[in-house]
A = this chain, B = another copy of it.
């Protein structure tokens, strides 16, 4: 436990965020957009304060043995700051979800019901040393009328502190409450623990980062969580699959950006078409640098593959590695997917309408596709215009999340004296 003064100070921050959220919920769209423009301008012109703080975090990271991959995600430079400013300005162009009418009706007794979108109130975010997420989440929360409490990881503590100061200045400059964006990095792990226990202060918690981070938050949080999870993504080549389409979709799904959650991890092929499809599809993948981890039947058709282990089927490689398995038709494919999928995205290549319809109906994933690359599971591609994350849970939001997924609703009831009989 931290000493009492620290504890009070964290509660003070949560209290301040709650108070700020009340004013922010009522802020008109134009004022929130002015705040976003002020944040973009502050990020653009703030290199002189941001980059030295970032350099300090990088130096600490090198000293503490931070991997080069994590160092790269931590690093900011002029070009990345310009990119963050541009991304913030893109959010200005998106529709404000607050006040949107979801549905409504007039009851027989004359009561007028309207269900409208309202901000959650206070959103908590727990993520790892990626300072771009600080700007990203703050901008998305502002547009959706939510205050936000950020726990961004101690490795980015100095960078985040400067970024949050700039954001708070930008908010104040347009008359919005500066307290609407808070960082609690200075409280370390204990801060994350308290954030996860802060029912009544925080309305929803969004973890972003490694599977381990997300799992910890999901298991420990007493605040409701939106889970943005890993993708063990499957593509099933049906016996009727067109070879060219199968090749193009398999290669694009695996190769275009292998390190992200919508990239392909396991290719399933109907035994009836394995001989026709597998050799050319796997050769095309290998030409693109993919290592094939295959079951015995695949290796008979494609001897260059390395033997798949039991672990491969449940693995999100996030690299140019692909698990490949021959299955006895659609039923075995569905069974394999039920067993190993993380319910993110699955796709089928088929020319058979009955097979397509069964796949769409029976695969229980956030996104289910026919004859399309799995890489399309993305808020930007779906036309949502901003990356809140991809939910792999079933409550509240499922699949790519846009700004409306950062809101709750309330029912407005207008009467003229109605009482219940």
Contacts and interface: CB of A to CB of B under 8 A. Distances in A.
Interface of A: 22, 25-26, 105, 107, 111, 113, 115, 118, 120-121, 199, 203-204, 218-219, 222, 224-226, 242, 244-245, 248-249, 251-253, 256, 338, 347, 360-362, 364-373, 375-377, 381-383, 393-396, 398-400, 408-420
Contact of A120 (B203, B373, B394): B394
A420 B256 contact: yes
Contacts of A338: 22
A370 B410 contact: no
A383 B107 contact: yes
Given A121-B394, A199-B218, 19 more contacts: A22-B338, A115-B399, A120-B394, A199-B219, A219-B222, A224-B225, A224-B393, A245-B417, A249-B417, A253-B419, A256-B419, A360-B412, A366-B411, A370-B413, A372-B419, A373-B418, A373-B419, A376-B415, A398-B408
A25 to B, nearest CB: 7
Contacts of A398: 408-411
Given A245-B417, A373-B418, A224 B222 contact: no
Given A219-B222, A394-B204, A419-B252, A413 B372 contact: yes
B395 A408 contact: yes
Contacts of A218: 199, 222
Nearest to A338: B22
Contact of A419 (B199, B204, B248): B248
6 contacts: A22-B338, A107-B382, A111-B372, A204-B395, A242-B417, A372-B415
A244 B256 CA distance: 69
Nearest to A394: B408
Contact of A394 (B26, B203, B369, B399): B203
Nearest to A219: B222
Contacts of A366: 410-411
A420 B369 CA distance: 14
Contacts of A419: 248-249, 251-253, 256, 372-373, 375
Contact of A420 (B373, B414, B416): B373
Nearest to A407: B394
B396 A396 contact: yes
Given A224-B224, A396-B396, A121 B413 contact: no
Contacts of A372: 111, 413-415, 417-419
A95 to B, nearest CB: 14
A257 to B, nearest CB: 8
Residue with the highest number of chain B CB atoms closer than 10 Å, among A367, A370, A372: A372
Contacts of A369: 412-415
A204 B224 CA distance: 12
A22 to B, nearest CB: 7
A367 B360 CA distance: 37
A362 B121 contact: no
B26 A376 contact: no
Residue with the highest number of chain B CB atoms closer than 10 Å, among A222, A372, A413: A413
Q: Lowest 7 A-B CB distances belong to which pairs?
A: A372-B415, A252-B419, A394-B408, A396-B396, A369-B413, A375-B420, A245-B417
A365 B410 contact: yes
A192 to B, nearest CB: 17
